[in-house]
Structure 1
């Protein structure tokens, strides 16, 4: 059994966590693991590399369709990185 002081301190920590990171607080409350940002970051890096390779392939080959796909893919990856860092 916790003392009154310990319960008060835990409640303060809980309120602080709820204000600073509500997603983590909800995950801890529900018993779920928070989503892994490392996996998401690794996936974005793979998509970045593929987009650059597509653009280079489109510039080497005389096919404007591949170049356009590479430009669109790079635009999407840049937009995704900017949107991630704004949150």
Structure 2
């Protein structure tokens, strides 16, 4: 059991968090992880670059497997972009 002082301090922290970042406070209250948009965007851009690189390499090299991987990867990233904007 927390002391009165500890509960008061926790309430102050909760109020400060609620004012400074209401989305994070809601996520913590509901027990879900907050969305990390920056990390998700960086990862999606990295996958985009890899997909385009595979596609270009597949067109330059006489290997249809690399071209197929590039097309599939690019299709997946396009689908992810479309699904992300619908949310």
Same topology, TM > 0.5 = yes
| RMSD over equivalenced CA pairs, Å | 2.3
Runs of 4+ residues over 6 Å off in structure 1: none
**How many pairs were matched up?**
66
Residue by residue over 1:10-41, the C-alpha shift from the partner in whole angstroms, topping out at 9 and shown as x without a partner, is: xxxxxxx8xxxxx8664142476612111000
1:1-87 matches, within 5 Å, as: 26-30=26-30, 34-87=34-87
- C-alpha distance in 2 between matches for 1:54 and 1:29: 43
Distance change (3 Å), C-alpha of 1:32 and 1:71: closer
Q: What's the TM-score once normalised by structure 2's chain length?
A: 0.66
- C-alpha distance in 1 between matches for 2:50 and 2:77: 10
What residue ranges of structure 2 are gaps of 5+ in the alignment? 1-21
